[in-house]
Every structure is written in structure tokens, then in C-alpha cells.
Amino acid sequence: MAEQERTILVTGASSGIGAAVCRRLAAPGVRLAAHARLGEDSGDNPALRQVVAEARERGADAHAFHADLAATGAGDALITDVVAHFGDLDQIVSNAGFANRQIVGDAARAELDRAMALMTGGFFDLTSAALPMIKASRVGAVVAISSFVAHVFPKDHLFPTTAAAKGGLEAIAKALAVQLAGDGVTVNCVAPGFTRKDPTGHSSMNEQAWKAAADATPMGRIAEPDDIAATVEFLLGPGARHITGQTIAVDGGLGLV
């Protein structure tokens, strides 16, 4: 088995960071399960279709999967579909998510539930269902995309419901890292700072807010999706085989100020 031969599930792959991760990982020998939510009914999501086509051009055996991962049971069903299609599963990049800028007092309780259902519950469901395959894999690894919003709280950039969901995600990831360490499986989080959205992405900020985000970042710019994808690629590769239970900030120094 070649070093890079493996089956990888990337959730939220239709745009932004997830699409950039697919572009980085797509290579001969890689079986790539690219997931998004939209298209669940029709089986089609043009943005995801494009990501899959690009991955195939790069030599990967890529296939599109659709599921609303906020729904209980959807994560289990997605893992079942991926394994039915590819026959196995080695690595997961749990990236599907969104941000909500509503502060406490403005956000309804339902917004907290929605964030927790996708970003904490979805991660829990996916990893629970994939556990036997990941443990049995020679290159088992999980990377979850968290966020700066769970670590720094600049007055003008508060995302309390998103922060709660990402904080829960990171706690599960750390527990899972210890649980799977004896099996040689690594579990890590990447916490992006403000990161450029694709036109097809879901943005909670207007142009002015993005400008303020770049100004608030010590490196003077927001991240490109590929800045995040590069760290994900490293964490899934042999160079990171002794790194587990960590949250790596890729934020241009935002967490320092």
C-alpha cells in the first residue's frame, strides 16, 4: 500500500476550507469522499460536483455525498454510505459548520441548538460511527475544524453560540485522542482565524466586517482557505504521527492580541 493510499471523508467540502482541503489531498491512491449538505434531495450540488471533478483531475477516486449533519442519525448514515462505496475509511476531516454573530440576548435558544447539533453533535456522530474503521486503519487520523471564536473574544467579534459548539467539539476531540492513542490514531483540531469565503459559501459578515477582521489580525490579512488546508494536510500525514489532542491555531496571530 503506497504511503498516501487511503480513504478520506471531508465534510463541508462544497466551498471554502473544505474545498481547499480536497484540492490539497486529491492525488492518485486517495479515495476521497467529498460531502456537503445541499443536494440531499436532488442528489446534486453544483459546487460540490465541481470539487469532485477537480479532485478526479488530480488523480483521486472522488465521489460526492450529501447529508444534513445536524440531524441525528445523519452522521451514521453518511459513514455507512462512504464505507459502502469505498469499502473502508481511514481518515476524517470534520469541517462542516457555520458562524453566527448574534450575541447573547439576540440569539434565540434554537440558534444554540442548531450550532451544537451540527458542529458538536455531528462530529460526535461521525466519529462514533467511524470508530471501528479508523481504529483498524494503518493511517487512522481525525482532524476537526474548530475556530478562533472558542479561544479569543474580541469585543467587536463575538460569536457565542458558535463558540459553545466549537468548544464542545474540541473537548470531544481531546477525549477521543486519548481513547484512540493506543491504536495509533491521532485526533486534532485546527482553529482558523478569519478566513476568506468562496462566493458559494455561507457568510455571517458583510464587506465592512471582513475589512475590520483583516485589521484585527496581526498579520494584516484574513487567511486563505489553503492556509488552513495546508495544516490539515500535515496533520493527516506521516510527519504528524506523534501529534494528538492538539488544537492548532492558523490565525495570523489573532489569538495573541
Ligand X SMILES: NC(=O)c1ccc[n+]([C@@H]2O[C@H](COP(=O)([O-])OP(=O)(O)OC[C@H]3O[C@@H](n4cnc5c(N)ncnc54)[C@H](OP(=O)(O)O)[C@@H]3O)[C@@H](O)[C@H]2O)c1
- Which residues of this chain interact with ligand X, rule CB under 6 A? 12-18, 36-38, 45, 68-70, 95-99, 118, 145, 147-148, 192, 194-195, 197-198, 201-202, 225
Residue number, 38 or 214, with CB nearest to ligand X: 38
**Cα→Cα distances 198→44, 111, 178, 201, Å:** 19, 23, 35, 5
Q: How far is the CB of 38 from ligand X (least distance, A)?
A: 3
Least Å distance, CB 56 to ligand X, is 18
Q: Shortest distance, CB of residue 175 to ligand X, whole angstroms? A: 20
In the complex with ligand X, the residue whose CB is nearer, 139 or 151, is: 151
E strand spans, the chain: 6-10, 30-36, 61-66, 91-94, 141-145, 186-192, 247-250
Q: Cell 492513542 maps to which residue?
A: 181
CB of 242 to ligand X, least distance (A): 25
Nearer to ligand X, 70 or 89 (CB): 70
CA distance 201 to 229: 16
What is the spatial distance between Cα 249 and Cα 230, in angstroms, rounded to a whole number?
A: 12
Q: Which three cell numbers stand for residue 195?
A: 478566513
Select 14 or 137, whichever has its Cβ closest to ligand X: 14
Of 62 and 70, nearer to ligand X (C-beta) is 70
| CB of 112 vs ligand X, minimal distance in Å | 15
- Spatial CA neighbour of 232 closest among 121, 91, 89: 91
C-alpha cell at 109: 435558544
Are residues 225 and 191 in contact, defined by beta-carbon separation less than 8 angstroms? no
